[in-house]
Amino acid sequence: MSIRADTWVRPYKKLLLFLFRRENMAQPQNDTLTEGLHRTTVRVRFGDTDPYGIVYFVSYFRYCHRAIEEYLRACGLKPEETFKNVREGFGLPIVEAWCRFRRPAQYGELLRIETRVQEIRSKALIFRFEFYPETGRELVAEGTANLVAIGPDWRVRELPARIKETLTGKK
């Protein structure tokens, strides 16, 4: 005996459409890049939380990755050409990340992520993140992510000059 998909989907169609649209709605944004500090806002989604409605630790790393992408965009770099660039023969994988959790954040809460380039080395970038409530200054979490430049052979290489120049503001 087989059950047709439309027999169980039909009663839930409105709910599924609502959830799909809600999950794919644009996140609240107030992206700004001022003097090397980038601010962006994310809303804690249900899927980002543990069974108690508290942000699950892994979610902070997703937020950090998103913050790096937004930082790069604000600098004029396309993330899809910066993390992996076949044409120029380099990639920038995250090789180390840490996060310290200061207080719990909950489902539905808006978090402001303040991102900056902490350090630019010859072969690596280190981004620093601080998480705050959207309108407050009480530190929720903080962390870093280290990206290392690699070539097509997966060996460490120098950071491309254009990446360094763009991120340091020197052209």
Strand pairing category for 84-85 and 32-34 = unpaired
CA angle 162-68-28, nearest 5°? 130
φ, ψ of residue 46 to 5 degrees: the values are -55, -40
DSSP 103-156: S--BTT-EEEEEEEEEEE-SSEEEEEEEEEETT-----EEEEEEEE-B-TTS-B
- Tell me the whole-structure pTM to 2 decimals: 0.80
**Which helix or strand (DSSP H or E) is residue 163 part of?**
helix 161-168
| Residues designated as active site | 50
Where do we find the tokens 């003097």?
A: 35
Mean of all residue pLDDT scores within the chain: 87
Residue 68 has pLDDT above 80, yes or no: yes
CATH class of 27-168: alpha beta
Q: Compute CA distances 1 → 5, 7, 12, 19, whole Å.
A: 13, 14, 22, 30
pLDDT tier at 33, thresholds 50, 70, 90: confident
φ, ψ of residue 119 to 5 degrees: the values are -155, 140
SS3 of the chain: helix, strand, coil, percent, to 5: 30, 35, 35
Residue 170 has pLDDT above 90, yes or no: no
Domain parsing of the chain, residue ranges = 27-168
pLDDT tier at 25, thresholds 50, 70, 90: very low
In whole angstroms, give the CA distance from residue 93 to residue 54: 28
Q: Quick one: CA dihedral 47, 53, 55, 57, positive or negative?
A: negative
Q: Residue 8: its pLDDT value, please?
A: 52
